[in-house]
Structure 1
Amino acid sequence: MINLTTCWQTSLLGLAGLLFSGLLVAGEGATPAASATSKTPAAVAVFAGGCFWCTEADFDKIPGVLSTTSGYIGGHVENPTYEEVSYGATGHAEAVQVRYDPGKVTYAQLLEAFWPTIDPLTANAQFCDKGSQYRSAIFYGNAEEQRQAEASKAALEKSGRLPGPVVTEIVPATTFYPAEDYHQDYHSKNPLRYNYYRHGCGRDDRLEQLWGKPAG
């Protein structure tokens, strides 16, 4: 096993490197998805798919997504820190809050886009990251989101596309706590470290195994 493959381990190296190099500057690394004006009507959805750096990067590619925020949800500790969550002591999952324009992308389309970015067959882990803090989950905000999420999961299971049962949780959203600033937009602020982690963790290899090669 190579060293520094987990989101937790890479973050420690990444933070130290950023502080040394002077790259940790407030406001840097804003993603293209965050360029919407304040007049744009917006809705919010929350997804957990393992290391939030990757989940954030995946949602930032979707047209109609206005911004993404990495954070923690589903636990029992107020204002948790990354270190606490990473040790699995708080019950939280690493997750991403997705702010989107429902006139350009629907919640159903976000669900459809979410599934191929995760391994929905593995409980309490994603790729090289192990523990309930890396569980995959859909955190619904209301009854309609719950209905759509459960229907989407049922349709995926019925399709027979995957070689096993889908164990991704569908649970009510609780308080979402934004992660520390250095985690936000990590993929764009630190592309070399991000790509090293993503490939070293075997994420894309496993996704291709489950879902096939990505289109294009």
Structure 2
Amino acid sequence: MVEQNWYAVLGITSSATESEIKRAFRKLAHIYHPDKNSNPIYFEQFKQIKKAYEVLGNNESKRLYDKSIQLEGKSAYTKPSIQHIQDLIRYFHLFEREMQQSDFRFINYDRIKWKLNYPLFLPLISEMIQMGSEQEQEKLLKQLLYVLSFLPYNELKAYQQKLEFCFSKSQYIYAINQLLSEKKSEAKWNQIKIPLVAFLSALLCLGIYILSK
């Protein structure tokens, strides 16, 4: 199985020169380095950027990676798969279908975040989204929010800044905040649900004990 598309992570094609690879890495590292931003999803993305440079910045590892792509029947000289908002819509359509078929008891939050981070942190992603029509942006946001709804509130909250940067119109901000509000209420309820059930169970047991006397 082929690894992550490391070219796409750095926003380059595999025809990029050694200096272009280094320049792309430095540009992205400057943005996503933990010293620049404490948001945990930025840290996760920085790890991906660092890994991409480790693979592509070394001639031997790059050669082996390119060979692995070719063995999979994919050209090592194609552009990253996500270039336009329609590509994003197709990506999240498949992601949405995957989540619809998943077993809620075995949700893998790390996998969800990994699949979210890949497109959301591509270079110029906000420009790509905002160049789309209003209908396309609405469709994409609806798909994104559906996938994000599977995450607990504390995980979802980390994406708020990125989402509002990509979807800056007031109606989109409202939809984002609405989901956050719903998940926050859900989180609060989950915090008190177990103690409440335990308390009610204790009361029931006490009632049964008293009635049995």
TM normalised by structure 1 equals: 0.24
| Structure with greater contact order relative to length (CA < 8 Å, sep ≥ 6) | 1
Q: Which of the two has higher C-alpha Rg?
A: 2
Question: Which has the larger strand fraction?
Answer: 1
The structure carrying a bigger helix percent of its residues is 2
